[in-house]
A and B are shown apart, each in its own frame.
Chain A
Amino acid sequence: MVSGLINANPVIYERKERRARTTPSAPHDEYAVEPIDQQEIFDHIRDIKDPEHPYSLEELKVITEEAVEVDDQRNYVRVTFTPTVEHCSMATIIGLCLRVKLMRSLPLRYKVDIRVAPGSHATEAAVNKQLNDKERVAAALENPNLLDMVDECLAPSYD
């Protein structure tokens, strides 16, 4: 079906240094709450592998830390990702991976929004709609081929 790679020669960026967490004010306070924040969400998704290259989404700058918006109080996360090329048919797969990873990593109370960066994709609206329709997401994951693909992409992010 797909004869060649969608983006045969992507630009690889350097990985960001893993920031060591600055220790909270009172390191021995057992009961202090460390809220879920931008960096934590980013740590969950930075190592997801690109569906067609052996590089992480971070290395391809598909996602950046700034593109993660999180509001722990209101249980809301929005991840905006940027496909490497405008017509990338992998965009939905990448979005699906992000969604699945966050569903598996975040508490149930969260509502997760995944979208492509405005203007970065040819069929932006369609992709966004598809990614945030839970029926379609569930249906996609019923497809064993798709699920295998997603699991393969997610594998490095669990190491």
Chain B
Amino acid sequence: MAETSQLTRNIESYVDSSSLMHQTASLNAIARLVNTDALPLQALVRELDMYLTTTDKVVRSRGILLLAEVITRIESKPLDSAIMHSLVGFFKDRLADWRAVRGALMGCLALIRRKSVVGIVTGSDAIAIAQSFLQYMQVQSLGQYDRKLCFELLDCLLERHSDVLTTLGEDLIYGICESIDAEKDPECLLLAFHIVESLAQLYPDSSGLLASYAKDVFDILEPYFPIHFTHPSSGDTHVQRDDLSRSLMSAFSSTPLFEPFVIPLLLEKLSSSLQSAKIDSLKYLRVCSSKYGAKKIAKYARAIWPSVKDTLCTYLGEPEFSFTVAPVDGIGFPENEIVIEALFLLQQLIVQNSSLLVSLIIDDEDVNQIFKTIAAYEIYDAIPVQEKKKLHAIGRILYITAKSTMPSCNAVFESFFSRMIDHLGFSVSNIDSFPSGDIFNSQRVKFGCLYLCIELLAGCKELIVGSDEPAMQNVFEQETCCTMLHSFSTPLFNAFGSVLAASADRCPCDPDIYIGVKGLQILATFQSDVFPIHKTIFENILKKIMSIIIEDFNKTILWEAALKALCHVGSFVQKFHESEKATSYRSLVVEKIVELLSLDDIVLPLSLKVEALSNIGMTGMKNMLTILQGLGTAVFANLSKVHRNLRASETAVQLLECYSCKLLPWILENGGTEDFAVQFSVDIWNQAGNCMDFSAPFIKKELLDAIIKAMKLSVGSCAVESQNLIMQKAYGILSSHRDFQLKEVETLPLTPGTFDIALREERIISLFASVIIAVHPKTHIPNIRALVHLFIITLLRGVVPVAQALGSILNKLVSTSNSAENSSDLTLEEALDVIFHTKICFSNTDVLQRCNGTSNGNAMVLTDICLGIANDRLLQINALCGLSWVGKGLLLRGHEKIKDITKIFMECIVSGTKSALNLTKHSLENTEEQIQDPSVMKCAADAFHVLMSDSEVCLNKKFHATIRPLYKQRFFSSVMPIVLQLVTKSYSSLSRSFLYRAFAHIMSDTPMVAILGEAKKLIPVLLDCLSMLTEDIQDKDILYDLLLVLSGILTGKNGQEAVIENAHIIINCLIKLVDYPHKMLVRETVIQCLIALSELPHARIYPMRAQVLRAISACLDDSKRAVRYEAVKCRQTWASMSSRSLNF
């Protein structure tokens, strides 16, 4: 009983309530009851009884709607056929009741849409619904939503019950016409178009019922074409113009019965001046011709062809004579939708009615005219603009014709190709007697002909490549086009070659060069199993291009084009496994290029040599290996000469750069083996052993850097075993070096003075350090303890790579705690012990004297040096710099020791004032009365940059560093509180400014997420920091980085609260920065920040408005344009904040 009353209440609430929320809630409740079988559908109907039949129209319509909604919601609940039948009977009758029509429509639709497993509407019921619909519904007199329901219902009926609906005959067609006539709503139209499409499929016969009504149906569709739809794309409706256009197109092309009406309409609209109409017409024509079939379209071909031709002539742009943007084959044009569609249409027509279209094209007056006139012009620029346009259009047409089908390709070749060869001046008759050598006619070659040749060749080539069936390929050889090509390949080669030759002695213009080079390239890249071009011709082509590479280096465009073509040919040869051509290519191109490297007398500049080398190497792995061999030889040949020859050093640097920046990454990317990298590294060590034994004064810093870079990258790309190999070699060289004995190094205490490391030893050690930096954690490093000692000493001399190596060692060493697979003889803890507790002795009396005596004796540990106990500024800076890299290694792996290291840096920055840190008692005593040198403090502050930034040179993924996730966030959250505390406590302005500097470094490298969480605390310091950084020009990059952090906070969601709170000080700070003179990006970002700030709550920022506007007006006269643009925007947003603008 309670349930029933509950039900009644729900029904009442649905029928009467004016609140949508209540209605939905009660509807859901009822549907749930029915769905869970708590309430049988029959019972619901009985309960609703009165609501369904009452004479009150409002209540009745709500009642019927309720029932319909419920049925919609129980779509997955099985219903037996009797219930279905009675429901159908009810709803179809209700269609007559126009006041309740929505419920009736929805009910019918829900029933029709049911899946077969849960009981579907029978055929006779469907007919009954359809009949009732056709009888009672006046679709166009309904509202938008109801119309949509009507169309959905019709659509569904046609889709689900097409078999039985045919019996309705004329009534159905008539009814559909009536309902969709003059429909305007886009959503409804989509459905209406689809209904027409389904209707057409219902009566496919040409003599069927639809045939007599086709005109009527089409008359309704016709006004919609072309779809003109200007609704904003982001409106309530999700229908786009393209959707509508596509669905109208399917309706148009749904039946051949429309053909007599559609094609004339489309042809008429093709001449419209509206772009979209043109595009649509072309698109529709293409789809319709494929749907209607070749025969129907054939009679229109004569009408379509001129329109297509005219469209192409009008809309085809200037071709892009450039190798960077053009496609591999053929000629590239700027993208234009009309042109693309026109070409598609043409292709479709040719595929359908090949012979007809080809005869149209061949007999076309314009085409023939072009052949006559164009012959007169020898260079591209001499052709008048109008002729050029025609030439391009005809070229495209020939291209498409050749590309579409074999017969069409043959036909155009037959009728045009020989004509073109004639024009070129090679008579067809004496072709055999023509010398097949490298004699280039001195006569000018007709540009237009060559242009058309290229289009034809490109089309033909695409046709051949496009056919995948291997069986087909044997047939090609017999085809006319292939035989013709074959017999004319020599004259063609000569023609293309002479374009280039001709361009060589006068001012070469780009299109001519392009055509010449492209022609040669296309000729060279025909697949040999389809169209076997003579080996001699292929070789001649390569020779010709190579001669350009070697000689014409001062004609940049020609040279680059030739290189590009050469690369295309190379990769083609590789891709299609053309063994014969590959051999020619290797001997004529690859080996020749390598040869060039060793020849000094060739005038070709080295940079171009290197460019050619790397580009050709990248055409294939085999070529790359040859190139690498050659490069290696050249590098070592130059390295061995460096002490005598300054130029050799420069050459070596360039070659090494090419190796590390281009060749090595390519090899790794393309799955090459590491053999070469290993060999290369070992060879460098051999050389290093040899050449650095001399006093080698010519080894300059750049060369050393280049070698180190190449070494690092090579080692980094190898596997562990290979790295072991290289490591042994390197260690062998290092230890055999005569001037220092590693064994001795190990004896304690360390005294830098006794090993007066000379410059060249320093180089050897740097090189060795580069190996250490790049190795895998598992690679065995021999005698690591001694190495660490050695590194510490070298580090104090300020050799940065060594510090990085030390950091890498610490980063990769295995810790004792998990020493299960401990392969090295030193654990992390031991290494730390060595670094931080080894006493370093200074036998050098000089240093001793400068020690202030408070340290015990003349031995101290590294950290003491960092804190300046040695009283040697340079030594201290070196130590700090080294320590920062050591710290970075530890930080990345998330080691605890980093805290101590950070403390040392902090101590360096704040000492001089009252020390706020509790460092070891020992050092505290020393630092109290000691004031640090500013440069030391700066170095300590910059150490945070080293710690936080991602380094390219070491300790990254490439060099196998151990990187703990979120290490930056962790470091940030542990260090930032200390920094903030120190900032507030430090009284000396000097140390505070360096604290700010450290703060800036940390901030700019921390992920935004971490910062946003702390924004409230950080913003005030950040702002102080910003104003501090404006003082020195040197700091402009740091300033910019920090500003980016601020803009991140301003735009981030989480930071809003903190921003609102600090709005005033932020704006004040930014206003001071708007005229920062030293970096444009700073000013631009500041103004963008101000724009972002204008989004804040009005009350909060309004007081600042006048001030901001005053500052911004000055920016309108900034020296940089970008800043002015931003300023205009900013001024507008701030000015329009209140209804009355300030100035205007």
Q: Which residues of A contact B (CB under 8 A)?
A: 21, 30-34, 36, 40, 43-44, 100, 103-109, 141, 151, 158
A residues within 8 A CB of B1143?
Answer: 103-104
Which of B1079, B1080, B1129, B1144 has the most CB atoms of chain A within a 10 A radius of its CB?
Answer: B1144
Across the interface, do B1078 and A30 meet the contact criterion of CB distance under 8 Å?
A: yes
Across the interface, do B1144 and A34 meet the contact criterion of CB distance under 8 Å?
A: no
Q: B1051: CB under 8 A from chain A?
A: no
A residues within 8 A CB of B1125?
Answer: 43
Candidates A104, A109, A141; contact of B1135 at CB < 8 Å: A104
A residues within 8 A CB of B1128?
Answer: 44, 104-105, 158
B residues within 8 A CB of A100?
Answer: 1144
Across the interface, do A40 and B1124 meet the contact criterion of CB distance under 8 Å?
A: yes
Residue of A nearest to B1033 (CB): A30
Across the interface, do B1121 and A40 meet the contact criterion of CB distance under 8 Å?
A: yes
Across the interface, do B1117 and A107 meet the contact criterion of CB distance under 8 Å?
A: yes
CA distance A106 to B1121 in the complex (A): 12
Across the interface, do A105 and B1116 meet the contact criterion of CB distance under 8 Å?
A: yes
Q: B483: CB under 8 A from chain A?
A: no
CB distance from B1143 to the nearest CB of A (A): 8
CA distance A108 to B1143 in the complex (A): 11
Known interface pairs A100-B1144, A104-B1135; A32-B1124 also in contact (CB < 8 Å): no
A residues within 8 A CB of B1121?
Answer: 21, 34, 40
Across the interface, do A107 and B1116 meet the contact criterion of CB distance under 8 Å?
A: yes
Candidates B1079, B1113, B1132; contact of A107 at CB < 8 Å: B1113
CB distance from A105 to the nearest CB of B (A): 5
CA distance A44 to B1125 in the complex (A): 9
Across the interface, do A109 and B1078 meet the contact criterion of CB distance under 8 Å?
A: no
Across the interface, do B1135 and A34 meet the contact criterion of CB distance under 8 Å?
A: no
Q: Which residues of B contact A (CB under 8 A)?
A: 1077-1080, 1113, 1116-1117, 1119-1121, 1124-1125, 1128-1129, 1131-1132, 1135-1136, 1143-1144
Candidates A30, A104, A109, A158; contact of B1144 at CB < 8 Å: A104
CA distance A108 to B1077 in the complex (A): 20
Across the interface, do A109 and B1131 meet the contact criterion of CB distance under 8 Å?
A: no
Across the interface, do B1119 and A151 meet the contact criterion of CB distance under 8 Å?
A: no
CA distance A14 to B1120 in the complex (A): 29
CB distance from B777 to the nearest CB of A (A): 40
Residue of A nearest to B1080 (CB): A30
Candidates A31, A36, A104, A141; contact of B1124 at CB < 8 Å: A36
B residues within 8 A CB of A43?
Answer: 1125
CB distance from B936 to the nearest CB of A (A): 30
Across the interface, do A108 and B1144 meet the contact criterion of CB distance under 8 Å?
A: no
CA distance A106 to B1128 in the complex (A): 8
Across the interface, do B1144 and A141 meet the contact criterion of CB distance under 8 Å?
A: yes
CB distance from A82 to the nearest CB of B (A): 23
A residues within 8 A CB of B1136?
Answer: 151
B residues within 8 A CB of A104?
Answer: 1128, 1131-1132, 1135, 1143-1144
Known interface pairs A141-B1144, A158-B1132; A31-B1119 also in contact (CB < 8 Å): yes
CB distance from A65 to the nearest CB of B (A): 16
B residues within 8 A CB of A30?
Answer: 1077-1080
Across the interface, do B1120 and A106 meet the contact criterion of CB distance under 8 Å?
A: no
A residues within 8 A CB of B1129?
Answer: 158
> Closest 9 A-B residue pairs measured CB to CB?
A107-B1117, A33-B1119, A105-B1128, A107-B1116, A34-B1121, A158-B1132, A34-B1120, A100-B1144, A30-B1079
Residue of B nearest to A28 (CB): B1080
A residues within 8 A CB of B1120?
Answer: 34
Known interface pairs A34-B1119, A34-B1120, A151-B1136; A108-B1113 also in contact (CB < 8 Å): yes
Which of B1116, B1131, B1136 has the most CB atoms of chain A within a 10 A radius of its CB?
Answer: B1116
Residue of B nearest to A103 (CB): B1144
B residues within 8 A CB of A158?
Answer: 1128-1129, 1132
CA distance A32 to B1078 in the complex (A): 11
Total of A-B residue pairs, C-beta within 8 Å: 42
CA distance A102 to B341 in the complex (A): 43
Across the interface, do B1119 and A32 meet the contact criterion of CB distance under 8 Å?
A: yes
Residue of B nearest to A105 (CB): B1128
CA distance A26 to B1117 in the complex (A): 21
CA distance A34 to B1123 in the complex (A): 11
Residue of A nearest to B1082 (CB): A30
Across the interface, do B1116 and A106 meet the contact criterion of CB distance under 8 Å?
A: yes
Residue of A nearest to B1133 (CB): A158
CB distance from B1036 to the nearest CB of A (A): 8
A residues within 8 A CB of B1116?
Answer: 105-108
Residue of B nearest to A101 (CB): B1128
CB distance from A111 to the nearest CB of B (A): 14
B residues within 8 A CB of A36?
Answer: 1124
CB distance from A103 to the nearest CB of B (A): 6
CB distance from A41 to the nearest CB of B (A): 11
CB distance from A122 to the nearest CB of B (A): 29
CB distance from B571 to the nearest CB of A (A): 32
CA distance A36 to B1118 in the complex (A): 10
Residue of B nearest to A109 (CB): B1117
Residue of B nearest to A137 (CB): B1144
CA distance A105 to B1120 in the complex (A): 14
CB distance from A14 to the nearest CB of B (A): 10
CA distance A33 to B1125 in the complex (A): 15
Across the interface, do A31 and B1077 meet the contact criterion of CB distance under 8 Å?
A: yes
CB distance from A117 to the nearest CB of B (A): 25
CB distance from B1129 to the nearest CB of A (A): 6
CB distance from B278 to the nearest CB of A (A): 15
B residues within 8 A CB of A141?
Answer: 1144
Residue of A nearest to B1128 (CB): A105
A residues within 8 A CB of B1131?
Answer: 104-105
CA distance A34 to B1120 in the complex (A): 5
19 contacts between A and B (CB under 8 A): A30-B1077, A30-B1079, A31-B1119, A33-B1119, A34-B1120, A40-B1121, A44-B1128, A100-B1144, A104-B1128, A104-B1131, A104-B1135, A104-B1143, A104-B1144, A105-B1128, A105-B1131, A107-B1116, A108-B1113, A151-B1136, A158-B1129
Residue of B nearest to A107 (CB): B1117
CA distance A7 to B1116 in the complex (A): 36
CB distance from B1121 to the nearest CB of A (A): 5
CA distance A59 to B1077 in the complex (A): 38
Residue of A nearest to B1123 (CB): A34
CA distance A105 to B1126 in the complex (A): 10
B residues within 8 A CB of A103?
Answer: 1143-1144
CA distance A119 to B1128 in the complex (A): 33
Q: A32-B1119, A158-B1129 are in contact. List 10 more A-B contacts (CB 8 A).
A: A30-B1078, A30-B1080, A40-B1124, A100-B1144, A104-B1131, A104-B1144, A105-B1128, A107-B1117, A141-B1144, A158-B1132
CB distance from A144 to the nearest CB of B (A): 9
B residues within 8 A CB of A151?
Answer: 1136
A residues within 8 A CB of B1124?
Answer: 36, 40
CB distance from B487 to the nearest CB of A (A): 47
CA distance A109 to B1118 in the complex (A): 12
Residue of B nearest to A14 (CB): B275
A residues within 8 A CB of B1077?
Answer: 30-31
A residues within 8 A CB of B1079?
Answer: 30
CA distance A43 to B1124 in the complex (A): 12
B residues within 8 A CB of A106?
Answer: 1116
CB distance from A157 to the nearest CB of B (A): 9
CB distance from B622 to the nearest CB of A (A): 41
A residues within 8 A CB of B1135?
Answer: 104
CA distance A141 to B1140 in the complex (A): 10
B residues within 8 A CB of A33?
Answer: 1119
Residue of A nearest to B1078 (CB): A30
CA distance A43 to B1132 in the complex (A): 16
B residues within 8 A CB of A31?
Answer: 1077, 1119
B residues within 8 A CB of A109?
Answer: 1117
CA distance A27 to B1143 in the complex (A): 35
CA distance A21 to B1124 in the complex (A): 14
CA distance A30 to B800 in the complex (A): 31
CA distance A31 to B1118 in the complex (A): 11
